[in-house]
Amino acid sequence: MDYDIAGRWAVVCAASRGLGYGCAEALAAQGVNLVINARTPEALETAAEALRRSAPGVEVRTVPGDIGTGEVQGELLEACPQVDILVNNAGGPPAGDFRDWGSEAWSSALRQNMLTPVELIKATVDSMAERGFGRIVNITSSSVKAPIAALGLSNGARSGLTGFVAGIARQPRLASRNVTINNLLPGSFATRRLTDSLEAGSRDSGRDVEELAREARQEIPAGRFGTPEEFGAACAFLCSAQAGYVTGQNLLIDGGAYPGTF
């Protein structure tokens, strides 16, 4: 299907690898020009080169730096001629015991996973409405629906973003102007983040990483981890012209891992 978004511009945050890269790649395949970001300049340039090779007609610009800073947010917006599509993403907060987290840990998690998306939405959404087209996708987590105790910082910050989005996505001045805001909730995807957490689990338990990975896969009805390409495909659909009637939703992509009816 032609998603009818070729020639549009997207800002994709935290996109040098993993789920953010998967979203950038799927949008580029639809002919969307990109401004991508990540902290490590070399990895970001390598990702941009790969995107240019995968979609030769598409323009790819890069803005290195921490997306949690106002300066980098400003540079991203400046680098994009007009933001038609915004994919909010950042690294996830560390796992741990809530008794060990002070205000610094909370500020960092809230800044990365709640306040940064809120700022970028605030900066872009009204001009999207004026132009009559806008697509915002926030990468959150399945932990919003099924909290993971050790990921309390993530559960808290992402739930805050989810509540915020639920309210504003339904504002008639946005929804009636073809501006949609949705959240994508990844379950377990084969990315560096997952590898890092399996390795941490292995260090803590003294068990083999592959054994832990096998157990994790067995808990997923699909019997495997998801791929960034599958994640990106869902993102591209939500950004398509055809998805204009889908807003304020939380879409789990988790191979059936969440056991509830709703």
Return residues touching ligand NAP (CB under 6 A): 14-20, 37-40, 43, 66-68, 89-92, 112, 139, 141, 186, 188-189, 191-194
3-state DSSP assignment of residue 226 = strand
* Shortest separation between residue 114's beta carbon and ligand NAP, angstroms: 11
Rounded-to-integer distance, Cα 71 and Cα 159, Å:
25
Rounding to the nearest 10 degrees, give the CA dihedral for residues 158, 41, 24, 184.
Answer: -10
* Shortest separation between residue 206's beta carbon and ligand NAP, angstroms: 23
Q: Between 113 and 174, whose beta carbon lies closer to ligand NAP? A: 113
Q: Between 112 and 180, whose beta carbon lies closer to ligand NAP? A: 112
* Shortest separation between residue 210's beta carbon and ligand NAP, angstroms: 17
Instruction: Report which DSSP code applies to 143.
Output: G
Q: Between 37 and 240, whose beta carbon lies closer to ligand NAP? A: 37
> Helices (DSSP H) in the chain: which residue ranges?
18-29, 41-54, 70-79, 103-110, 116-131, 152-168, 172-175, 192-205, 209-218, 228-238
Give me the amino acid identity at 82. Q
Q: Between 156 and 186, whose beta carbon lies closer to ligand NAP? A: 186
* Shortest separation between residue 183's beta carbon and ligand NAP, angstroms: 11
